[in-house]
Structure 1
């Protein structure tokens, strides 16, 4: 007898939920820093991150193009910290990998990593934008 048909897998969502890009605990930690004004603090921190990250990505792009591993390491380290602070864990991990390339005095593979980081940042920007609209 033929095998019964496999159950149909549920359709995957067209896009991962934007909030999955963000570790919500990091946002709670920022709110908790101000007992009286946590939402306003979170709003300022998220806006600063969204405003500053494109220039960090630009600096990384320039460092890779110039083969400047010291600048690559410094810029990746800076973006790693700010990304972790706002809960953009996947982006922080890519920064960690880029920072390690700089420490190893190489830019091999850095352009591919940076392209992935830029895509990830677009998702992070959408997720944080949605959070800002809803919660602050």
Structure 2
């Protein structure tokens, strides 16, 4: 499920950013983008795409802020899914 993948993916992205691994950021964000697109989670997909582009550029200066935006969107998505489950 997207939420499981997001939790793991966000941790992997944070590690890739810490290590300066632009290719890892690109790959990880691309994977999350695809999962989000398959479920129609458009805002999450857009945030993942933003991080994918940053990784592709090789300049990770903006990556921490982009990761925080992606994590914030994950929290919104998690809350929305929890509310629907009630």
Task: Answer whether TM exceeds 0.5 for this pair.
Answer: yes
Distance 2:67 2:55 in 1: 13
Picking from 30, 49, 54, the partner of 1:77 is 30
**Equivalent in 19, 41, 52 of residue 99 of structure 1:** 52
Q: Which runs of 4+ in 1 moved over 2 A?
A: none
Number of residue pairs matched by the alignment: 86
Q: Distance between the aligned counterparts of 1:59 and 1:77, measured in 2? A: 12
Instruction: Give matches, 1:1-136, under 5 Å.
Output: 48-131=1-84, 133=85
Q: TM-score, normalised by structure 2?
A: 0.92
Relative to the length of structure 1, the TM-score reads 0.60
| 1:10-49 deviations in Å (ceiling 9; x for gaps) | xxxxxxxxxxxxxxxxxxxxxxxxxxxxxxxxxxxxxx21
CA distance in 1, matches of 2:80, 2:34: 18
Looking at secondary structure, tell me which structure has more helix per residue.
Answer: 2
Instruction: For 1:129 and 1:82, locate their aligned partners in 2 and report how far apart those are by CA, in whole Å.
Output: 18
Q: Which runs of 5+ in 2 are unaligned?
A: none
